[in-house]
Amino acid sequence: MKIAVPTEVKNSEGRVALTPAGADALVHAGHEVIVQRGAGEGSRIPDSAYEAAGARIAPDAEETWGEADLLVKVKEPTPAEFGFLRDDLTLFAYLHLAADRPLTRRLVEAGTTAVAYETVQLADRSLPLLTPMSEVAGRLSIVNGSHHLLRTKGGRGMLLGGIAGTPRGRVAVIGGGVAGEHAAASALGLGAQVTVLDVSLPRLRELERRYGGALETRHSTRHAVAEAVAGADLVVGSVLIPGAAAPKLVTDDMVRAMRAGSVLVDIAIDQGGCFEGSRPTTHDDPVFPVHDVLFSCVANLPGAVPETSTRALTNATLPYIQRIADLGWDAAAAADPALAKGLNVAAGEIANAGVAEAFAG
């Protein structure tokens, strides 16, 4: 099979979908790997490293997409790439279609088989291809949020951990999944006071056991969210419903009640965001004001640390890429129920219930 890796074009996106080690594994399994010139530069991987692994370097996006049987990406195709979609192509990438009607429409029109990393789901309901980027995004949410809390960046001027004789910052994490836990752990590491809210009591008990008295947990209700947000210096939104649009849990009224200079980081923005006022931002222009607080809603947050993210992503995706390459999509999906759940669009139809529900009516 011909497996192609294009250069990512999203703003400040330094990741690439496959490392030279991944290319080497696929080539040694008898497949052809085509990498667009410069695709790895953002992750400090030169073309020569791919060539040494047996990959062929394509000069541009047109040739890279055009030769692919299976195209592996990091982020979803942008409008500039819509023309490359076709009915004999299998696309494997983060797609987040519930928040992207134009891309969904184009995939349906093109007849592309579109498989989303974020909806591949194991029997225990875990998301093996989303997990590594959720870990990165959770940790970066605290780095990002604490940076924008600086007074010079328009924030409160609050040091999350404080120092002796001063109050510590308060962090509210809405959603206790992988990203939420990593955000909480990072905030605790800085010395902040941290509250995690989640609808799952078993998950909250698990977090209590893991972090003991260092962490406060609250069952997530509208009232509990409003209380936590009102007292927070930094709010991290990390709510996830696989494949579906994120629910809007932090309302405009809750934001209005926050103290001036507080910061909200919405890492659910790929699925539409879990704050009422959220809209996607970029690494170049990451924040915008709402009332007297700052929203940060960067849609490709892990792209800021591509040397880490690229390797973590390939570690997770390579076994699934190999399975599709070895068997073809239909046989691979039949053999692996977790991979089958990744199918979002096929043969001109939406194949994922969460995506279909987002566009119903």
**pTM for the whole structure:** 0.92
CA distance 117 to 203: 23
**How many alpha carbons fall within 13 Å on the CB side of residue 68?**
29
Please identify which of the residues 24, 100, 266, 270 carries the catalytic annotation. 270
Angstrom distance (rounded) from CA 161 to CA 138: 18
- Residues in CB range of 209: below 8 A, 6 or more apart: none
| pLDDT tens for the 361 residues of the chain, in order | 999 999 999 988 999 999 999 999 999 999 999 999 999 999 999 999 999 999 999 999 999 999 999 999 999 999 999 999 999 999 999 999 998 999 999 999 999 999 999 999 999 999 999 999 999 999 999 999 999 999 999 999 999 999 999 999 999 999 999 999 999 999 999 999 999 999 999 999 999 999 988 999 999 999 999 999 999 999 999 998 887 889 999 999 999 999 999 999 999 999 999 999 999 999 999 999 999 999 999 999 999 999 999 999 999 999 999 999 999 999 999 999 999 999 999 999 999 999 999 888 6
CA angle centred on 137, ends 53 and 267, rounded to 5° = 135
- Write out the DSSP string of 22-88: HHHHHHHTT-EEEEETTTTGGGT--HHHHHHTTPEEESSHHHHHHH-SEEE-SSPPPGGGGGG--TT
Q: Residue written as tokens 């040494």? A: 52
What amino acid occupies position 74? Answer: V
- Classify 307 as helix, strand or coil: helix
Q: How many CB atoms lie within 10 A of CB 337?
A: 11
Specify whether 96 is catalytic: yes
- Please, are residues 139 and 236 in contact by the beta-carbon 8 Å criterion? no
Pick the catalytic residue: 31, 96, 148, 182? Answer: 96
